[in-house]
Each structure stands twice: as structure tokens, then as C-alpha cells.
Amino acid sequence: MCGIVGYIGHREAYPIILKGLKRLEYRGYDSAGIALFDGNDIKLSKTKGKVADLEEKVGKEIPTSATLGIGHTRWATHGVPNDVNSHPHYSNSGNLVIIHNGIIENYESLKKELIKRGYVFKSDTDTEVLVNLIEDVKKNENIKLGKAVQIALNQVIGAYAIAVFDKNKPNEIVVARLGSPLAIGIGDDEFFIASDASPFIEYTKNAIYLEDEEMAVIRRDKGVKVRKIKDDSLVDPYVQELQLNLEQIEKGGYDHFMLKEIFEQPSAIRDTFRGRMLPNEGIIKMSGIEDNMKTFLNANRIIVIACGTSWHAGLVSEYIFEDLARIPVEVEYASEFRYRNPVITDKDVVIAISQSGETADTLAAIKLAKSRGAFVFGVCNVVGSSIARETDAGAYTHAGPEIGVASTKAFTTQITVLTLIALRLARAKGTISSSEFRHHMIELELIPEKVKKALESDAYVKTIADIYKNSKNFLYLGRGYNFPVALEGALKLKEISYIHAEGYPAAEMKHGPIALIDENMPIVVIATKKGHYEKVVSNIQEIKSRKGKIIGIVTEGDEQVRALADHVIEVPETIESLTPLLTTIPLQLLSYHIALMLEKNVDQPRNLAKAVTVE
């Protein structure tokens, strides 16, 4: 997974590409590179490290007059992160240069063939194989670059978003996509290429999102020509007007994207239900549900597929769907589901949850479910993403761009959308009364204000973070709706502070984790008034008698847990099904502050990436 950027037009390409790469670092950040055409030749610079390292390396050497170029920020798949494996990659002749996001699965057999024909390889990457394959096709058939790219891609198995240019034809860039996103920004006699629209949003609001198996030849003089890679047919591309603005993408005054995104949750949650829920009229309307109501009502069960934090949101939805709509739910890791031989029928509804809409395992699981006749509904954040397009219908979370690798607002907005769906289905099935239905909506409408209130614990959470920042292990416990929140709290801590943490159903504690408890073990216990409160209080007593340090997440005004715990963090009261939207807030803040105090890179934790587009 990587970020790609390109420019062809009349402005200086370097600053546009550099800034674009910085905005795309959430897609990968182990190396970066750039190739510019200076009027005579290609000037290429690349390095292991971040875009800032590239900027330093490039220094003053770069030809500022260049008006055509491509850049790349990498997350390694083939070959360790180092200078040589960084993109862009030259072809053997030095005429072609390429950037690539994705993975060429049959690169070894292609490489063997090319070696037989005299090609030599400097890097370990699949990408260098692809650029030489293109060169080989071009040379043998004596054809234009676009055609050569097309023929080469028809020999390739895998996923890609590529941009390639030829120094002998410096008026065009050829791009293509299969499985990795690629957007083309359309300006006045200038064109931008990027993995998403953030690198070019200040230059143009018009963009074409290439579909899978499409390629485009972008010419300074003639514009964009889109074709199908397989059959060469011309495509009339849909030019979208973008709704994103730059401020949404940048940090907005916060030190980190993660913190900004945590504090955005009141508005993000509101944006999620805005226009879909009308409590006064007793209505929830979501076109993806209305249009397919029969399918939902006839469903024998719902299978939720997702990865990471989205999987935790899926677990919360299991409680909501079963509780409110009385539909049996199974929640599956997409990576397991896709390689099992799952029993799926056309009576199953599959809900795929994904912030990015690009997670490879989730995408593959969707394809499997569809091939077996299931109706697949997507819950995605990124509009126009692969999963959003691959599913039969769906509902966006409308959380806005999430840049911090550790997911925060995506989680709460996913739960919000899933709650709306469950409520709508419950009403249609008659499993809740109209007054209960209305009550849920009124409570949901109050959630943004309550999240704001929960965020006020920030300073206090920071003092707790300071006390426990050097702990080697953490335990997170919750029951019912708050069991997935415990898992999510532990995941957040692991992801950004690299402290080992386990999430557990509180009652399961005595079947193992209790052995770990001593006076050095901090244990975060979610103990809100609604939801097995007395049982959780008993669990807290068990911890206390083993001298564990208790951090309780409690309902405002709680006294019982306060009397037992070392610290309590209060959240406002709400109905049980909505408690995860509040209890997760202090857990996000706790992991943020601990990671910061340990001087970890909060937004770009080691080894992780925002969208995992390889399995």
C-alpha cells in the first residue's frame, strides 16, 4: 500500500507533488521518491524514510522548471524499505519511469522471462518488473506507451494503481488501476493524479475516479482518455465535483490528526445521522435500506465482515441487531471468512464494514459472499472507494477523512450507522414499539453533546496516563455492549504506544487473565450503570482483592465503583445500546496521551498503515 501523486500541466510540478505526498503519507511512509522531466531528461530522487527525508535529499538539485512529474510514498510489500526499492523505478533503458501502489502477484515468473531476454534488475520489487515488462512490450511491438501499458497489464495478476511516463514523449502520463484507488484531478490545461483527492483539492474540484480495470492516457494538449484495460473500449468518464475541503484534511489546529479526529466525533456522529433520522416525525430513512427492505426482512441472518477497528464496530452491531431487530448475527474477520468454505445462502445479508473501503481482505470476502448469492451491504467512510462500489448497496458513515492510522471517529460513526440500520429494521419488523423507537432516536440525537461532555475528561485522563505510562501490560474489561469497547481500547493502546494490552469480557477474566493481576497491572474496567452493572462491580472486587490497579469508566454520579477503584472517569448516562459511543472516548484519549508521553509517533505508528490494500 502506497500513495501516488502525479502532475502534468504548466506549473512547477515539484512543490505540488511534494505537498501531495505529505498528504498521502497516511497510506504508507517507509520510503518516498519523485521523478521529474526537466525538458531533456528524467531527474529522479528517492530515499528510505518519510517525505520530509526526501525533501531534504532532493534539496536544491531539483529542476524547478519541470512541469511533469510523479511521486510516491511507500509501504513495503516486496523488498525491504531502502533507497533502491523505493519508487519511482526506471526501465532498463532509462526511458520509462513508474510509480505503483499494489502488488504484482506473478512478478517472479514475469521477472524470469525478462531476465532470459537480458533485462537486469536493481531492486527486489515487483514494480521494477512491471516497468520493464511495459518496456519490453513497447520495444517488441513498436507501439505507443498507452498501448504497451495495456498489453503488459493484461499479463499481470495482482493489484495496482500506476502512473508511468516516457522521457521521449514528455507530454503524457499513462495511469491504470485494478484494486488500488486512483483519482485524476482535471484543471485548466493541467491534470493531477493521486491515490485520493487530497493532493489536488486546492487546485481543482473536478475529478475522475478510475474504475477497476480502467486506464487513462493523460495528455497536456488533449486531456484524459479512459479505456478498459481488457477490451480496449473507450469509456466516457464521470467527472465528479468534490465536496471535500482542505481544512477537513489538514490538522485543524490539533497537534495530531488522531487528536483532531477524536475531538471531531461530536460533529462526525451528527453528520452521520443528519438527514437520516427525524425523531419528531418518528422516521429513519436510508435509501440503501429502503430500496432493499424486502431482502433485509427476508434475511435468515446477518453476517458482518470486517478487519481491525471496523470488526470491533461489527461486534457492537451484533448486540444491536440481535437486541433491537431480533436478527441473528455472525461477526467474522474478513481474512478468515475469505479462506474458509463458509455456508452462505441467498437468504443471508452480508454487511461489510470498512473505513477506507480498500481493505483487501474485506474486499475479497465481499466477492466470495456475492459469488455465493448473498446480498452485500457496505458501511464505508471513503466515498467511491472500492468496497463502496463492489457492494450491492450501502450507507456511508460521513465521518470525513480519517488520517490518523489508529481509527477513532470511524469507529463511532460506524456504530452510529449500524444503530440507524438496526432501528429501521426493528421498526419494520415490529420488534420494537413506536415509543421505544422514538426514545432510541431521541437518545441518539443527544449523543453528540454527550460525547462533547465525555471529551471534557481529557485533562484528567492525561493525569492517569502519566501514572501508568510505564506499565508493561494493560487489561481492558467490559461486558455486553462494552465488551467490544474493551477490545477496541486495548487495540488503541497497542497500536500507538506499543504497550501490550488485552481486551476481555469481564466475566471471562477468571478463566485466565486473573492470573496476570498483581499490584503492577492497570486494569481498565467499563462499568456503566446500564449493562450488567452489578456483575461488573463484582468483577472489580475480584481485581481489587488481587491488588490490581483499577481505572473505572463509569456513569456520571457513580459512587459504588468510585469507592473501589483507584481512578474513575465519568461519562454521561445514555441507553445501554449507545454506551459504546461514550465509553470509547476516554479509552481513545488514554492511549493518545500514553503514546505521546512515550514519544511515539501517534499518527503513524510503526508497521501499521491506514488502509491495508494487500492481504
Q: What is the set of active-site residues? A: 2, 610
User: Which ranges constitute the DSSP H helices of 59-203?
Assistant: 107-116, 126-141, 145-153
Query: How near is the Cβ of 405 to ligand G6P at its closest, in Å?
Result: 5
- What strand order describes the sheet that includes 473-478? 500-505, 473-478, 522-527, 549-555, 567-571
Among 86, 92, 204, 309, binds ligand G6P (CB under 6 A): 309
Q: Map the footprint of ligand G6P across residues 407-436, applying CB under 6 A.
A: 407
Please enumerate in sequence order all residues whose Cβ is within 8 A of that of 59, keeping only pairs 6 or more positions apart, or say none.
Answer: none
CB closer to ligand G6P out of 379 and 525: 379
Give the whole-angstrom CA distance, residue 535 versus residue 119. 68
Nearest distance in Å: CB 244, ligand G6P:
17
Verify binding: residue 363, ligand G6P, rule CB under 6 A.
no
Quote the least distance from Cβ 172 to ligand G6P, whole Å. 33
CA distances from 479 to 180, 313, 408, 536, 569 (A): 38, 15, 21, 7, 17
User: Using an 8 Å Cβ cutoff, are 206 and 240 in contact?
Assistant: yes
- Kindly write out the interface string for residues 520-539 of this chain, putting x where it contacts ligand G6P by CB under 6 A and - elsewhere: --------------------
Nearer to ligand G6P, 302 or 406 (CB): 406
Task: Answer yes or no: are the C-beta atoms of 249 and 403 closer than 8 Å.
Answer: yes
- Pick the binder of ligand G6P from 42, 183, 405, 487 (CB under 6 A): 405
Angle subtended at Cα 98 by Cα 97 and Cα 99, rounded to the nearest 5 degrees: 145
Three-point CA angle 573, 578, 583, nearest 5°? 65
Site size toward ligand G6P (CB under 6 A) is 16
Among the listed residues 329, 309, 312, 311, the one whose alpha carbon sits nearest the alpha carbon of residue 320:
329
Based on the shown chain and the rule CB under 6 A, indicate whether residue 612 belongs to the binding site for ligand G6P: yes
Q: Interacting stretch for ligand G6P, rule CB under 6 A, among 45-53, 68-76, 405-413, 571-579?
A: 405-413
Write the DSSP string, 599-610: T--SSS-TT--S
Taking the least distance from each CB to ligand G6P, the nearer of 382 and 569 is: 382
523, 553 Cβ separation under 8 angstroms: no
Closest to ligand G6P by CB, 47 or 310: 310
15 neighbors 43 (Cβ within 8 angstroms):
no
Give me the least distance between CB of 501 and ligand G6P, in Å please.
15
590 binds ligand G6P (CB under 6 A): no
Beta carbon of residue 402, minimum distance to ligand G6P (angstroms, whole number): 8
Of 123, 198, 362, 413, the residue at the interface with ligand G6P (CB under 6 A) is 362
> What is the distance between the alpha carbons of residues 499 and 492, in angstroms, rounded to a whole number?
10
Residue corresponding to grid cell 490538522: 251
**Of positions 308, 480, 513, 548, contacts ligand G6P by CB under 6 A:** 308
Q: Which of 36, 307, 368, 540 binds ligand G6P (CB under 6 A)?
A: 307
Distance between CA atoms of residues 164 and 475, nearest Å: 49
Q: What are phi and psi of 210, to 5 degrees?
A: -65, 145
Of 67, 101, 265, 359, which one interacts with ligand G6P (CB under 6 A)? 359
Per-residue binding string, ligand G6P, 365-404, x by CB under 6 A, is ----------------------------------------
Among 310, 317, 386, 579, binds ligand G6P (CB under 6 A): 310
Rounded to whole angstroms, the Cα distance separating 16 from 7 reads 8
We find the least distance from the C-beta atom of residue 611 to ligand G6P, in angstroms, to be 5
Q: Does 611 bind ligand G6P (CB under 6 A)?
A: yes
Instruction: List residues near ligand G6P by CB under 6 A.
Output: 307-310, 354-356, 359, 362, 405-407, 608, 610-612
